[in-house]
Amino acid sequence: MNNIIQPSKLKESLVKIRNWLVETKFRMDISISFLTILNFTLLVITASDKLRNVIPLGTWALVLVLVPSAFIFIIFLGWFLDKVVNYQATYYKAQTERVPQMTELLERVKNIEKTLQGGKHERKK
C-alpha cells in the first residue's frame, strides 16, 4: 500500500505541472513575435514567383524589400497602438475586469489608500 500517492503529493505534483505549463506558454508568447518575422520571410519566398508578376523584382530583392517594409510597418503599428490608442492600458483594464480576485484586490488597495489619506498618514523623514 506504499505505492498509493498521497493527496498532498498529488496536489504538489499537479501544481508543479501547472506552473511548468504556464511558464512554457509565457516563454512561447514572448518568442512568437519573432517567429512571425520568419514566417513572413518564408511567405515572401514562397509567393515570390506570383509576386514577380506584379512587382518586377527577383526573389531575394523581394525579400530585401518586403521583409524590412513589414518590420517597419509593425514598429509603426506598435507605436500607434501604444501612443494613440493606449492599447496596453485598455488591454490591462479588460483583463482585470475578467478576474474577480483582481477586482477585489484593487478595491482593497483603494480602501487602504482612502484610510491612509483620511488619517493624513505621512512618512517621517
Q: What pLDDT does residue 62 have?
A: 80
Cell triple for 117: 489619506
The stretches of 55-122 forming alpha helices (DSSP H) are 59-83, 87-97, 100-118
Angle subtended at Cα 80 by Cα 83 and Cα 41, rounded to the nearest 5 degrees: 140
DSSP assignment letter at 124? -
Q: Which string of b and e fits 21-36 if b means at least 16 CB within 10 Å?
A: eeeeeeeeeeeeeeee
Residue carrying the nine cell digits 530585401: 64
Q: What is the pTM of this model?
A: 0.49
Cell triple for 67: 521583409
Q: Hey, where are the domains in the chain? A: 1-85, 87-125
Would you write out the chain's pLDDT as a tens digit for each of its 125 residues?
456 656 788 888 999 999 999 888 888 877 777 778 788 888 888 887 887 788 787 878 888 888 888 878 888 888 888 888 888 888 888 888 888 888 888 889 999 999 998 866 555 55
